[in-house]
Amino acid sequence: MIVAGSAGSLPSFFTVPTRVSIIVPTYREALNIPELTKRIDAAMRPTGHEFDLWLMDDPSGDGIDRVVAELGHSWVHLVTRTPPRGLGFAVLEGLRKAPGDILVVMDADLSHPPERIPDLVRAAEQPENHLVIGSRYAAGGTIDGGWSILRHINSRAATWLARLFTWVKDPMSGFLAMRRDILQRAVGELDPIGYKIGLELIVKCRCRTVAEVPIHFSDRALGKSKMGLKEQIRYVVHVRRLARWKYGELARVAEFGLVGLSGVVVNLLVVTLVSDQMARMDFAATARLNTAVTIAVLVSMTTNFFLNRMLTFGDKVRRSLRREYLTFVAVCLVGGVVNWWATTRLAVQWRDVFLGLQAAALCGVAAGMFFNYLGSRLFVFRSNPR
């Protein structure tokens, strides 16, 4: 960091070592704190940077306060938090409290190597880098060999979901560094869910350039992992909220489309099950067809209604369930007519085109879905009153 000097006493410009604050969220991590602080100290002392460590505890009740007191390091600060609890909230509070020019976030379980902090800091000091990630998947990055196939699949699936926002190799990393001026871009907007604060920062701090520093990711040696199904569900919810924040109404349209796709699956299952069951009961072919299709349409329409009510338009004002459902059915019936009209008209025009009928059908589906979305948005699930 370059600071202007006083005339006659100092050179016109001189270099002041950047102050580094390291934020570590903790919950029942007391066993790891002595080794963590030892390795941070060994890594940071030679750099000449002024540095401090902020342990944001949720609170654990595991004696972490006693451990920190026994260490006696003036640069280690323990903050016993109050609700709301959660890793994302802990990191966010730490980012606000820590005074550093460069802010580093890492886990307490030693899965992130403290020895790489200086490399992240050096990269974060470069003005072109908005965020720096300690990456398992960048060239030179490695992970411990004890990962199960399921854990690999979970990691890759979460990375795939993050492609909605960024193409960095390891967007799931919790080991990161950034300058305070970049953090200021998102003042009042950060609202993380779960443990993937890095993705929150990439999106809401509008990080166009993200550098990745290769690291070796180690499995924890002490304590117990907090990762589980609940955190994975929270991550999906987080991605959905970020998509709404970044893409606005387009994200809602995409959700509506995904719900519609689920309705297609439901329709196919129901029409198959009902038709097979009626065949065993020796119903006539025409009766089987008409009954199976009718029931399948009603069931898929009903599942679409409840999924849209709960997810796509879950933030809208609630009215009578019966009234909403009947209005939704009416909108979908009109949407079906729009689908039919568009398909038949285009099929006539494209009758000499290769796969013209199929192309017309796809256009009809798109037109019907768009009408259904507008109808649902305007008449079924109305906006909240101002």
* CATH number of 46's domain: 3.90.550.10
pLDDT tens, N- to C-terminus, the chain (386 residues): 333 333 333 443 445 568 999 999 999 899 999 999 999 999 999 998 999 999 999 888 889 999 999 999 999 999 998 887 888 889 999 999 999 999 999 999 999 999 999 999 999 999 999 999 999 999 999 887 666 777 778 778 888 888 888 898 988 888 999 999 999 998 888 887 766 788 889 999 999 999 999 999 887 666 555 555 677 777 888 888 888 888 988 988 899 989 988 888 888 888 888 888 888 888 887 887 778 878 888 888 899 999 998 888 887 777 788 899 999 999 988 988 888 888 888 888 887 878 777 788 788 888 888 888 998 988 888 765 44
**Looking at the structure, do residues 310 and 364 belong to the same domain, yes or no?**
yes
What's the pLDDT at 265?
A: 86
**Is 188 a domain residue?**
yes
Are 349 and 227 in a shared domain? no
Identify any residues that bridge with 80 across adjacent strands, giving them in sequence order.
57
Q: What are the DSSP E strand ranges found in the chain?
A: 2-4, 13-15, 20-26, 51-57, 76-80, 102-105, 131-135, 142-143, 176-179, 210-214, 216-217
Instruction: Assess whether 208 and 288 both reside in one domain.
Output: no
- Does any domain span residue 181? yes
- Give the model's pLDDT for residue 13: 40
235 & 261 share domain? no
Cα pseudo-dihedral 95, 99, 101, 106, rounded to 10: -40
Domain check: are 169 and 220 in the same one?
yes
Domain boundary among 194, 219, 247: 247
* Final residue before a domain boundary, out of 185, 217, 247: 247
What is the token pair recorded at 274?
Answer: 């009902």
The answer to whether residue 386 is domain-embedded is: no
Query: What is the predicted pLDDT for the residue at 359?
Result: 84
Residues 305 and 325 sit within 8 Å (Cβ to Cβ) = yes
pLDDT at 1: 34
pLDDT score for 223 = 55
Q: Is residue 111 in some structural domain? A: yes
Chain-centre distance for alpha carbon 263:
25
Q: How many CB atoms lie within 10 A of CB 203?
A: 23
Assess whether 109 and 21 both reside in one domain: yes
d(CA 109, CA 26): 9
Q: Give the angle 162-164-169 at the CA atoms, nearest 5°.
A: 45
Q: List, as one string, the DSSP characters of 9-44.
A: TS-SEEE-PPPEEEEEEESS-GGGHHHHHHHHHHHH
Token pair 């006493």 in the structure block, residue: 9
* Judgement on whether residues 125 and 174 belong to the same structural domain of the protein: yes
Longest dimension (CA), the chain: 104
304 is a domain residue: yes
Neighbour-count burial of 50, counting CB atoms closer than 10 A to its CB (0-12 exposed, 13-18 middle, 19+ buried): middle
Q: Are residues 283 and 228 in the same domain?
A: no
38 is a domain residue? yes
Q: Are 240 and 196 in contact (CB under 8 A)?
A: no
Give phi and psi for 62, each to the nearest 5: -110, 15
Residues 338 and 290 occupy one common structural domain: yes
Domain count across the chain: 2
CB 62 within 8 A of CB 41: no
Query: Could you tell me the end-to-end alpha-carbon distance of the chain, in angstroms, rounded to an integer?
Result: 47
**385 within some domain:** no
pLDDT score, position 228: 59
Tell me, yes or no, whether 218 and 267 share the same domain: no
- What is the CA 140 to chain-centroid distance, rounded? 26
Element (H, E) at 373: helix 356-375
- Residue 188 domain boundaries: 2-247
| 175 and 298 inside one domain | no
The residue out of 218, 247, 276 marking a domain boundary is 247
Residue 127's contacts (CB-CB under 8 Å, 6 or more residues apart) are none
**pLDDT value for 5:** 33
User: In degrees, to the nearest 5, what angle opens at C-alpha 248 toward C-alphas 247 and 250?
Assistant: 70
Statement to judge: residues 77 and 207 lie in one domain:
yes
pTM, whole model, 2 decimals?
0.75
